[in-house]
């Protein structure tokens, strides 16, 4: 229920951390979308997807396969949450702040001892292009972001009524 916890910690759709702002863009079962802002500039979109399963080394961490298989007790059976980071507008600044952005993204997972995370970066110019129209066409952006999710049906479930709670 980490999604509910994140939503409860947010105040009027914005959560303030040091000099970063997180804006809630979408919140539904097993999925959360936030925009990360620093110095009044949007840096990245962060998508959280609760995969409701343990890690699969071949799919989730293929680059660590040899190390993990050599230590069988390391195989993690905790629930896996995928964190996808999409830099927008200023890729150089986002890359410079990569460690901070990953720390902020990872920080918002509740029940840390019961949850495992994987973080992936996606440099997609189309995300920036779609984000420019987020106020008038948020659904197109979300559908594109959800194409990167494991659950491919997410993009079919978005309705404009899903955003009414964000405007109250």
> Which residues, in sequence order, are bridge partners of residue 80?
116
For residue 7, the model assigns a pLDDT of 37
d(C-alpha 23, C-alpha 10), whole Å: 9
10-62 tens-digit pLDDT: 445 555 445 788 899 988 888 999 999 888 889 999 999 988 887 776 676 76
For the chain, give the number of residues.
Answer: 168
Distance from C-alpha of 156 to C-alpha of 102, rounded to nearest angstrom: 28
140 or 28: whose pLDDT is higher?
140
Q: Quick check: 118 pLDDT over 80?
A: yes
DSSP classification of residue 90: -
Helix (H, G, I), strand (E, B) or coil at 163: helix
For the entire predicted model, the pTM comes to: 0.78
The tens digit of pLDDT for each residue in 55-113 reads 776 676 767 667 667 776 666 778 888 999 999 988 888 888 888 889 888 887 777 77
Say if residue 166's pLDDT is above 70: no
* Domain boundary assignment for the chain: 15-67+76-147
Q: What is the DSSP string of 1-68?
A: -HHHHHHHH-BTTEEEETTEEEEEEEEETTEEEEEEEETTEEEEEEEEEE--S---HHHH-GGGHHHH
Q: Pairing between strand 14-17 and 20-28?
A: antiparallel
Instruction: Evaluate if residue 168 carries a pLDDT over 50.
Output: no
Full 3-state SS string of 91-159: HHHHHHCHHHHHHHHHHCCCCHHHEEEEEEECCCHHHHHHHCCCCCCHHHHHHHHHCCCCCCCHHHCCC
Which helix (H) or strand (E) is 84 found in, with range?
A: strand 79-87
Q: Supply the pLDDT for residue 72.
A: 67
> How much is the pLDDT for 6?
36
């Amino acid at each position: 229920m980490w999604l509910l916890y994140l939503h409860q910690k947010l105040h009027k759709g914005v959560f303030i951390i040091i000099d970063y702002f997180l804006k809630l863009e979408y919140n539904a079962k097993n999925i959360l979308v936030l925009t990360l802002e620093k110095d009044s500039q949007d840096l990245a979109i962060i998508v959280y997807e609760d995969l409701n399963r343990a890690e699969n080394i071949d799919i989730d961490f293929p680059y660590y396969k040899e190390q993990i298989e050599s230590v069988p007790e390391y195989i993690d059976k905790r629930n896996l949450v995928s964190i996808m980071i999409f830099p927008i507008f200023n890729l150089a600044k986002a890359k410079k702040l990569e460690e901070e952005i990953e720390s902020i993204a990872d920080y918002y997972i509740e029940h840390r001892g019961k949850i495992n995370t994987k973080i992936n970066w996606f440099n997609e110019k189309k995300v920036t292009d779609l984000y420019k129209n987020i106020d008038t066409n948020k659904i197109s952006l979300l559908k594109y972001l959800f194409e990167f999710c494991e659950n491919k049906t997410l993009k079919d479930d978005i309705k404009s009524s899903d955003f009414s709670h964000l405007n109250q």
